Chains A and B, each alone.
Chain A
Amino acid sequence: DAGVIQSPRHEVTEMGQEVTLRCKPISGHNSLFWYRQTMMRGLELLIYFNNNVPIDDSGMPEDRFSAKMPNASFSTLKIQPSEPRDSAVYFCASSHDRGGYNEQFFGPGTRLTVL
C-alpha cells in the first residue's frame, strides 16, 4: 500500500490567496484526520471525519478554514483567504475504525508558507 498521500508537499503562497491541501487516505480506512503542526502550538487536531462525515471540527481555527471529504478516497483542507500565521505543516492521517484502538497512519505532511 502506498500509505497516506498528501499533495502538494510544499506550498508557498501570498497572503490573501486561496490554498487547497489534498489527502488520499489508505484504501479501506474509514477515518480521516487533519492535524496542524506549528512551533508555537505543536501538533493539534483540526478536524476528524468518519465515513466521510465530519465528526469533530472543534479544532478548526476560524471560518477561513474548511474541509471536505466528498468520498472515501479523497479529502481537502482549504484556507481562504490565507494569512502568514497559517504557515505550518499540515498532516493528514487515516485509520480503520473497528472500535477500540485504531492506529492512525500519517502522511508526509504539506509544508505551507504564507508570505
Chain B
Amino acid sequence: AQTVTQSQPEMSVQEAETVTLSCTYDTSENNYYLFWYKQPPSRQMILVIRQEAYKQQNATENRFSVNFQKAAKSFSLKISDSQLGDTAMYFCAFMNPLGTDKLIFGTGTRLQVFP
C-alpha cells in the first residue's frame, strides 16, 4: 500500500523569504503522480502543483517548485518570495493512475507567513 509522510506539522516563514516543505512517500509502482494541495482557512482544497513520476524535470508553477527525487521517494515543495496569502495547510498527495484515481494524502504541514 502506498503511504505519504509529511514530517513537519508546522512551519513559519517571513514574507518574501523562501520555505521548503518536505514530503516522502512509499510505493512499489513506477508510474504515478504526486501533488501539493493548499488548504487555506476557507477550507477549499486547491491544487498547487503536480509532478509525473516519469518526468525527470521538476515541476514549477510561478513561485512554487518541487524537488522530486524518485530514487529517494522524496517530493518537497519550495515556495519562493512567500506572501501572506500563502498561509495555509499544505498537503502532499499520491495517485496511482492505474488504480482507482484516489488521492492518498499526507497529514499536512501548517504554514504561517509572517509580515
Interchain CB contact (< 8 A) of B43 among A45, A89, A104 = A89
Residue-wise, chain A 19-63 has the 8 Å CB interface mask toward B (1 for contact) of 000000000000101010000001111001000000110010000
Inter-chain contacts of A102 with B (CB < 8 A): 101
Main SS of the interface on chain B? Answer: loop
Cβ–Cβ contact A56 & B47, under 8 A? no
**Is residue B90 contacting chain A, with contact meaning CB distance below 8 A?**
no
Number of interface residues of A (CB under 8 A): 25
Number of chain B interface residues as a range: 20 to 34
Cβ–Cβ contact A56 & B102, under 8 A? yes
**Given A42-B107, A42-B108, A43-B91, A97-B43 contact (CB < 8 Å):** no
Bound Cα distance A111, B42 (Å): 12
**Is residue A1 contacting chain B, with contact meaning CB distance below 8 A?**
no
Cβ–Cβ contact A101 & B52, under 8 A? yes
Cβ–Cβ contact A43 & B44, under 8 A? no
Cβ–Cβ contact B108 & A101, under 8 A? no
Interchain CB contact (< 8 A) of B101 among A42, A91, A97, A109 = A97
Interchain CB contact (< 8 A) of A106 among B44, B50, B107 = B44
**Is residue B84 contacting chain A, with contact meaning CB distance below 8 A?**
no
Residue-wise, chain B 40-63 has the 8 Å CB interface mask toward A (1 for contact) of 001111010010100000000000
Min CB distance B32 to A, Å, is 10
Within 8 A of A (CB), among B70-115: 91, 95, 97, 100-108
Interchain CB contact (< 8 A) of B100 among A48, A89, A93, A101 = A48
Interchain CB contact (< 8 A) of A48 among B43, B47, B101, B107 = B101
Q: Which residues of B contact A (CB under 8 A)?
A: 33, 42-45, 47, 50, 52, 91, 95, 97, 100-108
